[in-house]
Chains A and B, each alone.
Chain A
Amino acid sequence: MSDFKPEELLAATICRLVLDPSQPVARHVAVGAASPIPAAACYLAQKLGYPIRLSLLARTQGNPFTDGTRELFDLTGQGRIDLFFLGGGQIDGQANLNLVGTGEWPGRGVRFPGSFGSAFMYMMVPRTILFREEHSPRVLVEKVDNISANGVSEPGVFRRGTAQALVTGRCVFQFHPATARFSLASVHAGETVASIRAATGFSFDVPAEVPETPAPTAEELALLRGAVCDEMLETYPEFCARVFGRKLAA
């Protein structure tokens, strides 16, 4: 059965990574601006019964931060945010992120918006899930042109964590900080190890068996389209209209 949208598969997949029992428990998860799929994944975890405090930076009504956006960084500095999401215009094989731009600094080729909080958040949260829908050699590169946030640090530099995984529109990679390499964890339906290799600019490890990314269950789909969408309508109206076909009552 494939009666679901790609966004629903990605949300369910990210939800499983958030709940991964081999990882430290995510009690408080923050989601940055323009991240409806990670937000949907976290709401799904909540609706499945996991007690996660979810702070959406972009929330227009009931925003969790009453002391300005610096409160997110202050919380994170203290270690009170367990999990965050980051992406990048370029992501390389060592999990370095480029949100600045291509070419010479500060992005004289194609300028991206900028690094936002990445240079801090990536080092200060115990877990980061990297997410980028576009999976192509121009995004997943061997070496980023500019480093907004580095995947691993020199010994002796304070750092709580790094990438747990990289989720794309084609697959899930797991990140191994000790070797600073990705391995292929699962491929989405329709993809193969060969098709992932062809679409990826960096080298990565491939285990003997690579499973297919599990489809969302009927329960997950019902929650995404119902209770999760209810939570997201105010903050992400366009996403909810496009993916779930629902609009906020005027």
Chain B
Amino acid sequence: MAPPATLTQLDAMAAQVPNGAQIAVPPDNSLPSVAMAKALIRRGVRGLRLVGVPVSGFATEILIGAGCVAEVQTSAVSLGEAGFAPRFSAAVREGSIRVLDATCPAMHTMLQASEKGVPFMPLRGIIGSDILAHRPDWKVMNNPFADGGDPIVLLPALRPDFGIFHAAMADSRGNVWLGRKRECATIAHACQRSLVTVERVVEGDFLLDERMASGAISATYIDSIAIVERGAQPIALLDEYRTDTAFLLDYARMAKTAEGFAEWCAIHVFTPRAAAAE
């Protein structure tokens, strides 16, 4: 089978991301590429500006722990059932990363403005929250269609350099398929380039199949694809594999200290894949 022109190796894909890049990443219920986060740590990238769409999870947590991150813009960072994200919490305490707090629909809305190519979009709510007081880039104006009054928040378009996520599969044309996890479609539409890991590449064209097309993202938006089996692990992949909560609890325990995190990385990030497989 002829591979799509964009098919590459994981480490070559990670090499495309320069220091300081702004990267949009989906949360743990929506297909983060943990494999790519690990590849970025191995590459030793620095100064990343991560964007949680709309919140952040394990991939963001380990990139922060490894010192790859300068800034996180998100509505929350959490390990779900495994609780608070320990390296994120430590970085906030130490002031070693800049946190731009947001609220979920604002993250979506800023990316939707980029999808449409407009400079900003309005969103209800938020007025009275301290989030707004700490976001000088968010403005409040009166609704120009009302008869005076009716203040509403305006959010600037957000166009990250890269969108990075995992998908179940790609086809021979470079379309990717991830079912109803449409956050990733918003990410792909809004970001300048999208780098996607997939479990497998299959023959054919998802866009010719009515049942597949609605869960697909067109190759128009996808720049690079790398095959990484179990590339979301320990996070779930649709109905293919479940979240490994025991693994996350073990991580949360080890990552309470910087030393424990380094030890975890030595085993799970830097050890060659064959040895790290369970």
Give every chain B residue within 8 A of A112 (Cβ-Cβ): 84
Interface residues of B, CB < 8 Å — how many?
A: 53
Give every chain A residue within 8 A of B81 (Cβ-Cβ): 34, 238
B152 and A120: CB pair below 8 A?
A: no
Interface with A: B72-80, B156-164, B220-228, B255-263, which one?
B72-80
Chain A's nearest CB lies how many Å from the CB of B49? 16
B150 and A158: CB pair below 8 A?
A: yes
User: With A68-B185, A106-B134 known to touch, is A147 a contact of B76 (CB < 8 Å)?
Assistant: no
Residues 13-45 of A, flagged 1 when their CB comes within 8 A of B and 0 if not, give 000000000000000000001100000000000
A120 and B105: CB pair below 8 A?
A: yes
Give every chain A residue within 8 A of B184 (Cβ-Cβ): 68
Of the candidates A117, A154, A238, the one whose C-beta lies within 8 Å of that of B103 is: A117
Distance A112 CA – B126 CA, assembled complex (angstroms): 19
Interface pairs (15), CB distance under 8 Å: A63-B180, A68-B183, A68-B186, A69-B104, A70-B182, A73-B108, A106-B99, A106-B101, A113-B76, A113-B78, A115-B75, A120-B104, A147-B128, A153-B128, A238-B81
Interface with A: B8-16, B39-47, B85-93, which one?
B85-93
B183 and A158: CB pair below 8 A?
A: no
User: B residues within 8 Å of A by Cβ?
Assistant: 29-30, 54-55, 74-78, 80-81, 84-85, 88-89, 92-93, 95, 99, 101-106, 108, 112, 123-132, 134, 149-152, 180-186, 236, 239, 242, 245
Chain B's nearest CB lies how many Å from the CB of A184? 26
User: A residues within 8 Å of B by Cβ?
Assistant: 33-34, 58, 60-61, 63, 65-70, 73-74, 76-77, 99-101, 105-108, 110-124, 146-150, 153-154, 156-158, 238
User: With A68-B182, A73-B108, A120-B106 known to touch, is A115 a contact of B129 (CB < 8 Å)?
Assistant: yes
Distance A34 CA – B55 CA, assembled complex (angstroms): 14
